[in-house]
Structure 1
Amino acid sequence: MVDERPTGMDKQELVSWLVGQISYHSDLYYNQAEPIISDAQFDLLWSELKNLDPLNPQLDRVGSDSTPGSKKVDHLFPMRSLDKATGIDEIRHFVSETTSQGRQFVCQPKLDGSALSLEYRRGRLVRAATRGNGTRGEDVTANARRISNVPESISWKGDCHIRGEVIMPLMTFREKYSSIAPNPRNLAAGCLRQKTLQSGKASAEDLKFLAYDVKFPDNNNRHPDSPPPPKFIFDSESNDWLSKIGIGIAGNTVASANDDDLTTQKIISITEHWTNQRKDAEWEIDGVVIKLDLLSKRELLGMTAHHPRWALAWKFPP
């Protein structure tokens, strides 16, 4: 259903049409792994609804509800979306809004894959779940165990939730799957959620997991034998820690300066680097994620229902 935009609608009718389109295409993207419009087209629908009705509940939704019949997993830590931008001025505004008490940002290439949460208890993998609607996802543990770089156990013998992106290397896609799937992202998402080994188009062994975040349960939610979590001041420290315990990471480039203008320019240089490197990247990327590095300042800035205020997904211009 690619609906032609009806003509002659009043504002409320247009809002209702946009809500329906966003809901429908979210389901195709997150649950069916068969989107029929581009990310840029989806973002235009989202932006138009945001301009017309900034408080519309659809704007607070993340992802899409899991498909009926799948085993559901409630996320202990919600997997929210990110606020998006495509222009340099939006980066400047983001930096100026977030830099009080912290002009240091960690930048990572924005991987165009499928979000996944890995739950480790006392260092062993016990569950893997898709993002779903941000608070509840789909249990895909069996398939996640087959991903080549997802370890069954990590060297730190505690409880943690490691979130990241499942992607398919472009070389693998071109050599094995380009004739049967339109792009690596759709193939990776479908492979992650396939019900049996025979039901999917691709093998989970051909996927990769790259982390961008780690969360630690509090005393009430962790195993009594789990050691207390590491003490990090900066997010970039947690990325280094993930690498040390055997988890691949999405990236960990730090941009830091003494004033907003210099900080912004360093971030812009990073976006320019990835714009130039995009065609040579090992996997599909569609922008750069920019996050305030100081964890204590993140706590002060907090979240909206849809996204954290301390992060921005800058996307390559269409």
Structure 2
Amino acid sequence: MNHKEYLEAVNKLNDWARAYYTDDTPMASDDEYDALYHKVAEFESQNPNLKVIFSPTNRVGGEILEQFEKLAHKARMWSMEDIFSDDELLAWIERGDKRSQRFFVEPKFDGASLNLTYENGVLISAATRGDGSIGEDVTSNARVISSVPLQIPYSGLIEIRGEVVITKSDFEKINANRAKDGQNLLANPRNAAAGSLRQLDSSITKSRRLKFYPWGVGANELKFSTHSDMMDFVRSLGFLRDDFVRVCNSIDEIRQAYDELLSLRDEKPIMMDGMVVRVNSLSKCDELGFTVKFPKFMVAYKFPAIQKSAKLIDVALQVGRTGVVTPVGVLDGVEIDGAFVRNVTLHNFDEIERLGLMKGDMVCVIRSGDVIPKITDVYKARRDGQEVAISRPCKCPECGSELLDEGAFIKCQNLNCKARVVSSIIYFASKKCMNIDGLGDAIIELLYKNGKISSIIDIYRLDSSSFDGLEGFKSKKIENTLNAIKASQRPPLHRFITSLGIEHIGEVAAKKIATVYPNKWLDLSMDELLNLDGFGEAMALSYLEFMRVNHIKVVELLEYITPIIDEINTTQNIFSGKTVVITGTLSRPRDEIKAELESFGAKVSGSVSSKSDFVLSGESSGSKYQKALSLGIKIIDEIEYERLKNES
């Protein structure tokens, strides 16, 4: 076999694999495939420098990684807003003037999101969603998934996004084999898919029978006008295609599609927890843009929760990082929607009293997709007198300290309580906070148990000797962990504020504080906090109280951490201090123009009102344009916008 014959053989093997795994129309027998595969492998062993990256021999697996490196997405991977009813669907359609739009719908498979990057027709990288901007590099694992093409007939740069899943039947086979081998059973197909994608040994990933279904693209050079046409093209490149994909022209057609898909819930080979609904027009998607968390042009219309009966055998108590003691219901165990449920949230003791719940009760439990299982009803008519009342605790289950009973919330006030300390450290190091790779829950528990850390600040006092005697820590893992800790010392300011674990202050609130008060976030007043959009008295009081009690600790932490503040160089012009609404299709992406206006000190609003100063209008402007006319708001086009922004 010469080099030309080798390349032809590689392409033939990939064509055969695509026909077998993706199209379900085999083009060759197993013996024929194996014989050609052997010739390719033999050529590569004799000519390692000529081996191509898209060779099917790269699907063998067996590569062992110390841990996953970080990999930035070229375009952000967004999560979706959930809706649960026709009323919420109608409300979503009415937001952003979507009534005249066509909608693309498809199943929302329950798996793990994956971003594949192709360049010059070759798969060059694969990453998990991560925090949306940066994921984990799982390229070696993606290459062993049979339905992920190593080579595609398209030379442009493209990020292809989709869901990695395990079919119900394959999941059952995997668990049957694990049971025979005396291994713990996997919880459900969704968790199994996510865990399989993140195996350090790619041969384990290969054995898990994963499948990849594309649902979108990130960075790309495509010129399609609709999402449906774009996905038809993507799926033509050699990816799996589900048979339930369609374009709807009205809300009635969306409802009809939803009902039809829901009726197929049990028949579908892959678990799904709803239906994705998105605006089909890509220019309209650009116009609608994004909120802080979600795209405005797509939602997940979730299926109703599945209900099952189970027996409540006990109530466990968990202490969170703020000291709140949360009751957790312990069930005798019930399978719901592919997951074996033993624990359910009870929220707080007021909820227990509202339900009239007792230990030993038969209860109604619901679970929907990734929603935490919960009790919705108590079958009191089935009581036999053996039930036991659930009493409110007086002592902390972890440290034994007296608890403060505030009604709905019961709190441990002991700042040195192990549960509070460990929970706060875990939260601090988590992905959505400081994102310290290598410091997961189990590692933090281990370090705490062995006296290596007793507070958040101790993370930054760790050195290589701190890991002496700890099981599983080899020199490379120690080096990687310490490097990750060092890398976290210059986080964006909003991430640092989020990581402090202030009650009611999540990522969105932290971003507002960091954006508006980047230089005085540590010493804010009540009025300053209440001036922030969306801040109420409870949020402001929580922030103030935390900073009052923990001021010294935060200052000490800042000796090790230097948060990065995004410098905003505001250019003064006619838009400074004005409220601007953008509508229609423009020559530049809407987010780009919005960022530019904000750099001028303008506020960009999503709706027209009497307080609006300008409406920047592009092609196909709709109701916002008409409303601006009726209110007498100044309407400008892009030409006038460019002229005005350059005037001082």
- Normalising by structure 2, report the TM-score: 0.35
Residue 108 (structure 1) aligns with: 106
- 1:147 touches 1:204 (CA, 8 Å); kept in 2? no
Residue 328 (structure 2) aligns with: none
Q: CA deviation at 1:177?
A: 2.2
**Structure with max Cα Rg:** 2
| 1:233-244 matched pairs, under 5 angstroms | 233-244=225-236
Instruction: Say yes or no: does 1:289 pair with 2:276.
Output: yes
Residue 186 (structure 2) aligns with: 181
- 2:70 touches 2:136 (CA, 8 Å); kept in 1? yes
Residue 51 (structure 1) aligns with: none
| 1:163-312 matched pairs, under 5 angstroms | 163-177=161-175, 179=179, 180-197=185-202, 200=204, 203=206, 206-217=209-220, 229-249=221-241, 252-256=245-249, 263-312=250-299
Q: 2: CA distance between counterparts of 1:98 and 1:253?
A: 22
- 2:107 touches 2:245 (CA, 8 Å); kept in 1? no
Residue 259 (structure 1) aligns with: none
Q: 2: CA distance between counterparts of 1:216 and 1:132?
A: 17
Q: CA deviation at 1:171?
A: 1.3
Q: CA deviation at 1:151?
A: 0.5
Q: Which runs of 5+ in 2 are unaligned?
A: 1-65, 180-184, 306-648
- 2:214 touches 2:235 (CA, 8 Å); kept in 1? no
Higher RCO structure (Cα 8 Å, ≥6 apart): 1
Cα–Cα, structure 1 residues 105 and 204, in superposed 2: closer, same or farther, change >3 Å?
farther
Match of 2:256, as an amino acid?
S
Instruction: Say yes or no: does 1:131 pair with 2:129.
Output: yes
Q: 2: CA distance between counterparts of 1:146 and 1:90?
A: 40
Q: 1: CA distance between counterparts of 2:253 and 2:94?
A: 14
State percent identity of aligned pairs: 34
Q: 2: CA distance between counterparts of 1:196 and 1:176?
A: 17
- 2:140 touches 2:202 (CA, 8 Å); kept in 1? no
Q: CA deviation at 1:100?
A: 4.3
Q: Which runs of 5+ in 1 are unaligned?
A: 1-67, 218-228, 257-262
Match of 1:311, as an amino acid?
M
Q: 2: CA distance between counterparts of 1:155 and 1:249?
A: 17
Q: CA deviation at 1:279?
A: 0.2
Q: CA deviation at 1:72?
A: 0.3
Q: CA deviation at 1:98?
A: 4.0
Q: 2: CA distance between counterparts of 1:204 and 1:289?
A: 29
Match of 1:267, as an amino acid?
I
Residue 86 (structure 2) aligns with: 88
Q: 2: CA distance between counterparts of 1:239 and 1:118?
A: 15
Residue 591 (structure 2) aligns with: none
Number of residue pairs aligned between Structure 1 and Structure 2: 232
SS of 2:266's equivalent?
helix
SS of 1:190's equivalent?
helix
Q: 1: CA distance between counterparts of 2:261 and 2:168?
A: 16
Q: 2: CA distance between counterparts of 1:161 and 1:78?
A: 11
Q: 2: CA distance between counterparts of 1:289 and 1:299?
A: 18
Q: 1: CA distance between counterparts of 2:245 and 2:264?
A: 16
- 1:212 touches 1:249 (CA, 8 Å); kept in 2? no
Q: 2: CA distance between counterparts of 1:185 and 1:267?
A: 26
Q: 1: CA distance between counterparts of 2:148 and 2:276?
A: 22
Runs (4 or more) in structure 1 with deviation over 6 Å come to none
| 1:38-57 matched pairs, under 5 angstroms | none
Q: CA deviation at 1:291?
A: 0.2
Deviation string, structure 1 residues 45-65 (Cα, Å, up to 9, x no partner): xxxxxxxxxxxxxxxxxxxxx
- 1:211 touches 1:247 (CA, 8 Å); kept in 2? yes
Match of 2:284, as an amino acid?
K
Q: CA deviation at 1:305?
A: 2.0
* Among 127, 143, 146, the residue aligned to 1:145: 143
Q: 1: CA distance between counterparts of 2:235 and 2:247?
A: 16
Deviation string, structure 1 residues 246-279 (Cα, Å, up to 9, x no partner): 12245531101xxxxxx11110111111111000
Cα–Cα, structure 1 residues 316 and 80, in superposed 2: closer, same or farther, change >3 Å?
same
Deviation string, structure 1 residues 147-192 (Cα, Å, up to 9, x no partner): 1110000011221000000000111112232552121111111110
- 1:86 touches 1:314 (CA, 8 Å); kept in 2? yes
Q: CA deviation at 1:69?
A: 5.1
Match of 2:146, as an amino acid?
S
Instruction: Say yes or no: does 1:317 pair with 2:309.
Output: no
Residue 551 (structure 2) aligns with: none
Q: 1: CA distance between counterparts of 2:202 and 2:99?
A: 51
Match of 1:238, as an amino acid?
M
- Normalising by structure 1, report the TM-score: 0.69
SS of 2:254's equivalent?
helix
Residue 74 (structure 1) aligns with: 72
